[in-house]
């Protein structure tokens, strides 16, 4: 992902000035990216959030998750993290690789087929139990192969300003280090998933992970994959979008080191040490990114809602809440409510809010569209998500831990608000790809006019 494009100015800058061949290659890459994004939106909205809402309704009705199959909860989480965020990351990663011949379609499409089939198989195995002893390890194998192919494709590409065959070593920027760490976390997660799915298929009684193992897996997914990837993209794009200075290098490096150490401690089963390190890294990241400092220039809000600078900062407030609640959970959680609230603050408050805020700014550009379909839908989705997440994170500990019985009635409302926000975001992205004004139309018209003039 070394060549991640910068959509801060014009969409697909320079493409229309580099000839029809270059434009055709970029159009192909944009169409493939749209397929990745549309698939991610599908897994986010239906197998992910809709199933999560259904699970939440059942939990609220029975005042606990004891009657709900653990495989259903894991199916919801897998669809969200792998099906949604994973599809977005892989799609953007393939788009960011330099376009060279047929390689721009062959490997991305093979990976797309493997990844999508793998996520769908896992969801089916978890929810319906359909031949899960075969489907679960097969889905994990497909996902593992897709990630390995992605890493192989990325390793064969040189930096765009680096001459072919050059051995000159260039300094790797910190944002890139963070994204690479997140990619390593994704690779570790799919390997972990594959090994455990094979083990469960041989000796297990259901496709769900044991609780202690699941805790380690969630640390790896949340803090080992999601957090460093979002940090990397934040360090890359937020200084341009928000008009702030570049991150403080030493603080950002310290946050990354604390996060890596916390993930290692968590995977090794040292949860109390892990949550302390992770919370410290989370708190440090906001200062490292200069999010609370006064901007030195105006924020770039072209094509998005004017509230964009506010919503782009909110995820780091949620990250701090997730870190603090994880410490609380490690010390006092009895029935899973505090852990659940902490994970929700991380996945929905931090990761999903960042996608909802940054997505309308970058996804249309990467997909070859000038701007998001509706800025009003953009802010509506964000508002619904924030209200729903606030209610969920605040009421889940109260309900699960038996502190306030009324909180059980708040949980379904939070789920409905979040589901509404997700559906609004999904509709906005899909309408953008379906009806947005394409940047490639200008290239096509210019080419036709030139051919007509020559003729």
State the pLDDT at residue 449. Answer: 40
> Residue 106 is encoded by which pair of tokens?
């062959």
Burial class (CB in 10 A: 0-12, 13-18, 19+), 42: buried
3-state secondary structure of 369: strand
- Say how many C-beta atoms besides its own lie within 10 A of residue 267's C-beta: 18
259 and 360 within one domain: no
Do 178 and 234 form a contact (C-beta atoms < 8 A)? Answer: no
Phi then psi for residue 234, to 5 deg, are -65, -45
Domain assignment present for 5:
no
Sign, CA dihedral 445-446-449-455, equals: negative
Domain assignment present for 190:
no
Instruction: Give per-residue pLDDT as tens, 347-364.
Output: 999 999 999 999 999 999
Alpha-carbon distance 108 to 233, whole Å?
21
86 and 28 within one domain: yes
State the pLDDT at residue 99. Answer: 58
Sign, CA dihedral 313-319-322-325, equals: negative
Cα-atom radius of gyration of the chain, to the nearest Å? Answer: 22
Domain assignment present for 196:
no
Domain assignment present for 167:
no
438 and 386 within one domain: yes
State the pLDDT at residue 343. Answer: 96
Do 391 and 413 form a contact (C-beta atoms < 8 A)? Answer: yes
Cβ-Cβ contacts under 8 Å for 247 (sequence gap 6 or more): 174, 175, 235, 239, 288, 289, 290
346 and 430 within one domain: yes
State the pLDDT at residue 453. Answer: 40
Low-confidence ranges of the chain (pLDDT < 50): 1-3, 5-6, 8-19, 160, 162, 164-168, 444-455
Residue 157 CA to its chain's centroid (Å): 23
State the pLDDT at residue 158. Answer: 53
- From 263, 295, 327, give the residue that closes a domain: 295
For residue 95, give its domain range: 19-159
Alpha-carbon distance 197 to 205, whole Å?
12
State the pLDDT at residue 444. Answer: 44
3-state secondary structure of 129: coil
Do 12 and 370 form a contact (C-beta atoms < 8 A)? Answer: no
Q: What is the dihedral of CA 155, 158, 160, 163, to 10 degrees?
A: 180
Alpha-carbon distance 315 to 100, whole Å?
36
Do 295 and 242 form a contact (C-beta atoms < 8 A)? Answer: yes
Do 181 and 252 form a contact (C-beta atoms < 8 A)? Answer: no
180 and 88 within one domain: no
Phi then psi for residue 369, to 5 deg, are -115, 145
Do 256 and 281 form a contact (C-beta atoms < 8 A)? Answer: yes
- From 246, 266, 295, give the residue that closes a domain: 295
65 and 29 within one domain: yes
Taking 3-state DSSP, the helix, strand and coil percentages for the chain, each rounded to the nearest 5, stand at: 75, 0, 25
305 and 281 within one domain: no
329 and 264 within one domain: no
- From 275, 295, 315, give the residue that closes a domain: 295
Domain assignment present for 42:
yes
Question: Residue 369 pairs with which residues in a beta bridge?
Answer: 438
Alpha-carbon distance 226 to 232, whole Å?
10
Do 311 and 242 form a contact (C-beta atoms < 8 A)? Answer: no
Domain assignment present for 4:
no
112 and 70 within one domain: yes
Count of domains for the chain = 3
- pTM comes to 0.89
3-state secondary structure of 38: helix
What DSSP element (H or E) covers 411? helix 407-435
Alpha-carbon distance 383 to 377, whole Å?
10
349 and 223 within one domain: no
123 and 27 within one domain: yes
Domain assignment present for 384:
yes
State the pLDDT at residue 450. Answer: 39
453 and 341 within one domain: yes
Domain assignment present for 1:
no
Alpha-carbon distance 296 to 244, whole Å?
6
């Amino acid at each position: 992902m070394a060549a991640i494009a910068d959509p801060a100015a014009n969409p697909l800058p320079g493409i229309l000035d580099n000839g029809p061949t270059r434009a055709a290659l970029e159009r192909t890459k944009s169409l493939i990216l749209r397929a990745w994004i549309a698939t991610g939106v599908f897994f986010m909205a239906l197998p992910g959030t809709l199933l999560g809402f259904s699970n939440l309704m059942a939990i609220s009705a029975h005042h606990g998750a004891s009657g709900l199959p653990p495989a259903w909860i894991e199916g919801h989480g897998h669809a969200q993290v792998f099906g949604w965020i994973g599809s977005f990351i892989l799609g953007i990663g393939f788009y960011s690789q330099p376009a060279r011949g047929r390689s721009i379609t062959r490997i991305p499409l093979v990976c797309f087929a493997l990844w999508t089939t793998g996520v769908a198989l896992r969801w089916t195995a978890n929810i319906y139990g359909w031949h899960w002893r075969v489907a679960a390890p097969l889905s994990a194998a497909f996902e593992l192969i897709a990630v390995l192919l992605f890493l192989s494709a990325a390793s064969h590409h040189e930096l765009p300003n680096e001459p072919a065959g050059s051995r000159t070593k260039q300094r790797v920027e910190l944002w890139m280090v963070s994204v690479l760490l997140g990619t390593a976390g994704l690779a570790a997660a799919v390997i972990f998933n594959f090994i455990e799915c094979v083990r469960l298929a041989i000796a297990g009684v259901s496709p769900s992970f044991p609780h202690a193992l699941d805790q380690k897996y969630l640390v790896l997914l949340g803090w080992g994959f999601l957090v460093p990837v979002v940090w990397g993209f934040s360090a890359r794009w937020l200084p341009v979008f928000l008009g702030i200075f570049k991150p403080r290098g030493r603080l950002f490096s310290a946050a990354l080191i604390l996060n890596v150490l916390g993930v290692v401690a968590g995977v090794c089963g040292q949860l109390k040490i892990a949550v302390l390190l992770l919370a410290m890294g989370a708190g440090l990241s906001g200062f490292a990114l200069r999010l609370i400092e006064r901007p030195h220039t105006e924020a770039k809000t072209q094509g998005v809602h004017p509230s964009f600078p506010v919503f782009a900062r909110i995820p780091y407030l949620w990250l701090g809440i997730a870190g603090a609640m994880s410490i609380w959970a490690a010390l006092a959680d009895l029935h899973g409510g505090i852990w659940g609230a902490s994970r929700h603050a991380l996945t929905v408050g931090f990761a999903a809010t960042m996608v909802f805020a940054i997505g309308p700014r970058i996804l249309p550009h990467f997909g070859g569209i000038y701007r998001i379909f509706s800025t009003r839908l953009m802010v509506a989705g964000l508002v619904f998500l924030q209200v729903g997440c606030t209610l969920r994170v605040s009421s889940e500990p109260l309900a699960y831990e038996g502190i306030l019985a009324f909180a059980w009635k708040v949980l379904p409302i939070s789920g409905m608000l979040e589901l509404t926000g997700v559906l609004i975001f999904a509709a906005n992205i899909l309408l953008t790809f379906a009806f947005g004004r394409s940047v490639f139309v200008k290239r096509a018209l210019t080419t036709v006019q030139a051919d007509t003039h020559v003729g």
